[in-house]
Structure 1
Amino acid sequence: MDLIDIGANLGHESFTHDFDAVLARARTAGVVQMVVTGASREGSRQALEIARAQPGFLYATAGVHPHHAVEYTDEADAELRELQRAPEVVAVGECGLDYHRDFSPRPAQRRAFERQLQIAVDTGKPLFLHQRDAHADFMTIMKNFSGRIGAAVVHCFTGTREEMQDCLDAGYHIGITGWLCDERRGLHLREMVKDIPSDRLMIETDAPYLLPRSVRPQPSHRRNEPMYLRHIVEELARDRGEDVADTAAAATATARRFFGLSAS
């Protein structure tokens, strides 16, 4: 299987000591391309640097996560626009709203989100989106940009069936992570994923976060890494009632089309 991890936080400090080994394990598991998530000003610069060191294998996003919305100044906006000029940067984001933790005030989150949506309008690049416990405001802001933005993926989707349907009705893509494998809080996703059209479904690890709880044996360090994308797609295929090769091929084709990636 050729797999594409559309969301991996490879700039995280937990990967510093064995970065090359992490990439090697991912390749062995069938991961042929990855998109490195940029979620802050510094993180977006770092994501681009990482991607440039692995041409054709790694790509990057550039954005400011709602947790960091207070850092979204005019200078931040200018810097993100400059980063979007790099061919390795294939999406605007990670951006959106997070009312679960509220690490930034909600008005600041909404302003940062709107400004990044405007970058997507101006550049024509797809959107890598985050939404947690903020569905109503998220959809309202997105609809204000309807007809002006291009493709969008709601990354690491964990919401309700109604929220998923709202996103699909609006034309958005859905990113599924190892949250699916969490028997405590992901069971509802197992029923819902069969209803996502294959041309709107992509897979991701969100590494080093969200280690699939059904992986055996469980690593002692609890760090997620891209090699576990294979486990996620196996679980996803089972829940969709599909052959895993078909699920993987469809998700890879969708990711290549969405991000404009060439086969490596």
Structure 2
Amino acid sequence: MRRWKSLIDTHAHLNHPKFGDDLDATIERAKDAGIQAIITVGFDLPSSEVAVKLSERYRKYVWAAVGIHPHDALYLTNDAIARLRELSQSPTTIAIGEIGLDFYRNLSPRDAQLHAFEQQLILACELCLPIILHIRNAYQEALDLLRHYAPLPINGVAHCFSGDWAIAEQLLSLGLDIGITGTITFRHNESLREVISRVDMSKLLLETDAPYLAPVPYRGKRNEPAYLVRIASAVAQVRGITVDEVAMSTTANAKHLFKLDI
């Protein structure tokens, strides 16, 4: 793969056990591929704690987001909120996430998901940190909750966006960015490619969601940040611009949203 000038992976899970044996090598491959920074995202309290530790270990290269995924919404207690608040005090913690609603798998009751989402949204507003949203089969419910607190004093990103243009427009109207993963390379995903062709470049972010959702030609294998170049190439093809232009725009967007000091 060609090395690009500058890309930022705004959503990866380097805190996942699948990176336990070769994390240093994974990060070196990312650097060799031109990845300028990686945001590693928590999905429960333990993974959020690891995210912060990694961000402090690989300072100025790995950054942390802390939060409780809707799958684990039942674990969002007052003590958990207090711990997330503590973790957010690290200078390397730059977002609350991933948080939101997942009505596709429903691994937590819907009322628990709504409660956890709302409480973490309130926390993000209190801390003035952007949000990283996981929304699956629940866009309308998520939009309703976000609108309840509009105008939001914070911005954020709809991670791994899978909706249509009508949904994208509503998220954009709330000031949110659109996160693009390797699913853009999947053969039967014209709806997403249409969205990408219409969203202003100033509102697009690139993310791998590693170790999940590896782009073609790595689909089905463990994903990693170095593969972000494949996602950037796919966006460039859809937009009819160069990969360098995609890199320049999305990197600027990531630095602006997350206030990255790099």
Alpha carbons 1:117, 1:149 under 8 Å: kept:
no
For residue 262 of structure 1, report the CA deviation from its aligned partner. 2.1
1:99-156 per-position Cα deviation (integer Å, ceiling 9, x unaligned): 0000000000000000001111111111111100001110010011112431111111
Match of 2:116 in 1: 112
- Give the counterpart of 2:96 among 88, 92, 96: 92
Match of 1:256 in 2: 255
CA distance in 2, matches of 1:24, 1:148: 37
- Give the counterpart of 1:24 among 25, 28, 35: 28
Match of 2:194 in 1: 191
Opposite residue 126 of structure 2, the aligned amino acid is D
CA distance in 2, matches of 1:141, 1:149: 14
Alpha carbons 1:120, 1:149 under 8 Å: kept:
no
* Paired residue secondary structure (2:132): strand
Give the structure-2-normalised TM-score: 0.96
Match of 1:170 in 2: 174
- Give the counterpart of 1:35 among 29, 35, 39: 39
Alpha carbons 1:175, 1:204 under 8 Å: kept:
yes
Match of 1:242 in 2: 241
CA distance in 2, matches of 1:198, 1:262: 22
1:45 aligns with 2:15: no
1:124 aligns with 2:123: no
Match of 2:214 in 1: 211
* Paired residue secondary structure (1:23): helix
CA distance in 2, matches of 1:147, 1:100: 28
1:140 aligns with 2:144: yes
More displaced 10-residue stretch of structure 1: 188-197 or 249-258: 188-197
Match of 2:203 in 1: 200
CA distance in 2, matches of 1:190, 1:135: 18
Alpha carbons 2:165, 2:194 under 8 Å: kept:
no
CA distance in 2, matches of 1:131, 1:55: 29
- Give the counterpart of 2:8 among 4, 9, 29: 4
For residue 166 of structure 1, report the CA deviation from its aligned partner. 1.1
Alpha carbons 2:151, 2:174 under 8 Å: kept:
no
Unaligned 5+ segments in structure 2 are none
For residue 195 of structure 1, report the CA deviation from its aligned partner. 1.1
Alpha carbons 2:212, 2:222 under 8 Å: kept:
yes
In the alignment of these two chains, the number of paired residues is 258
1:78 aligns with 2:77: no
Give the structure-1-normalised TM-score: 0.95
Opposite residue 5 of structure 1, the aligned amino acid is D
Match of 1:228 in 2: 227
For residue 24 of structure 1, report the CA deviation from its aligned partner. 0.6
Runs of 4+ in 1 over 2 A off after TM superposition: none
1:9-58 per-position Cα deviation (integer Å, ceiling 9, x unaligned): 00111111111110011001110101001110111001001111001000
Unaligned 5+ segments in structure 1 are none
CA distance in 1, matches of 2:140, 2:193: 24
Opposite residue 40 of structure 1, the aligned amino acid is D
For residue 189 of structure 1, report the CA deviation from its aligned partner. 1.1
Alpha carbons 2:9, 2:207 under 8 Å: kept:
yes
- Give the counterpart of 1:62 among 60, 63, 66: 66
